[in-house]
Amino acid sequence: MRSGLTPHFRSNRSGRRGISEVVIYLLLTIQLVIVPVTALGEMVVVVNPKNPIDKISMKDLQRVFRGTQKRWESGESIEPLLPPSGGNAMNYLVSDVLSLPSEGDLMRMYLQLVFRQVIPRAPAQITSSTQAVWIVSSKPSAITIASSDDKLDPKHVKVVPIE
């Protein structure tokens, strides 16, 4: 009986597998194993350079994106921005920060928070890392999550480590 995990190669007349089939299989296997690991940069929190925070705990980050922490210690209001839909930063926010099963569950959570009047509106969703840098650099209260691979110019944004 053939296992579903092992490849099935057609044999040629001499009973040997075609070298091209083996090479293609190996290349696809390498791509599936290596690409996801190297494609993910480290996720970082990004704020305006004028923001006084130098680090943020995972618990505080959860509070910010769940709408329960609305002000920084300095009294300044917090404006969370959602990372681009379907990207690595959004996946990190949904699964690692908020422990939700999917991005759809995140949107349902925000609808419930708005309905219960915990927050006035759902956070704005940015469409690209370029837009994130532009918005965060222009709003001292803004915070978002981005990949360390993104172009995060320290003149415009501050990268804050997560404790």
pLDDT digits (tens, 9 = 90+) for 61-116: 999 999 999 998 888 899 999 999 999 999 999 999 999 999 999 999 999 999 99
Judgement on whether residues 31 and 80 belong to the same structural domain of the protein: no
Closest of 154, 152, 150 to residue 92, by C-alpha: 150
Q: Where are the alpha helices (DSSP H) in 7-51?
A: 19-39
Q: Which domain holds residue 31?
A: 1-39
Query: What pLDDT is stored for residue 38 in this prediction?
Result: 36
Q: What is the pLDDT of residues 116-148, one digit of tens each?
A: 999 999 999 999 878 888 899 999 999 999 888
Domain count, the chain: 2
DSSP 99: -
Judgement on whether residues 31 and 56 belong to the same structural domain of the protein: no
DSSP 17: B
Task: Determine contact, residues 72/81, Cβ cutoff 8 Å.
Answer: no
Query: What pLDDT is stored for residue 161 in this prediction?
Result: 86
Judgement on whether residues 30 and 50 belong to the same structural domain of the protein: no
* Averaged pLDDT for residues 13-24: 60
Closest of 6, 33, 10 to residue 21, by C-alpha: 10
Q: CATH code at 91?
A: 3.40.190.10
Judgement on whether residues 25 and 83 belong to the same structural domain of the protein: no
147 DSSP β-pair partners: 43
Q: What is the pLDDT of residues 28-48, one digit of tens each?
A: 555 544 434 334 568 889 999
DSSP letters for 119-157: SSSPPEE-SSHHHHHHHHHH-TTEEEEEETTS---TTT-
Judgement on whether residues 48 and 90 belong to the same structural domain of the protein: yes
Judgement on whether residues 33 and 65 belong to the same structural domain of the protein: no
Query: What pLDDT is stored for residue 154 in this prediction?
Result: 78
Judgement on whether residues 64 and 14 belong to the same structural domain of the protein: no
Judgement on whether residues 154 and 140 belong to the same structural domain of the protein: yes
Distances in Å between the Cα of 39 and the Cα atoms of 28, 72, 78, 116 are 16, 33, 30, 38
Give the whole-angstrom CA distance, residue 3 versus residue 122: 48
Judgement on whether residues 25 and 85 belong to the same structural domain of the protein: no
Judgement on whether residues 18 and 68 belong to the same structural domain of the protein: no
Judgement on whether residues 64 and 5 belong to the same structural domain of the protein: no
Judgement on whether residues 33 and 81 belong to the same structural domain of the protein: no
* Residue percentage of the chain with pLDDT more than 90: 53
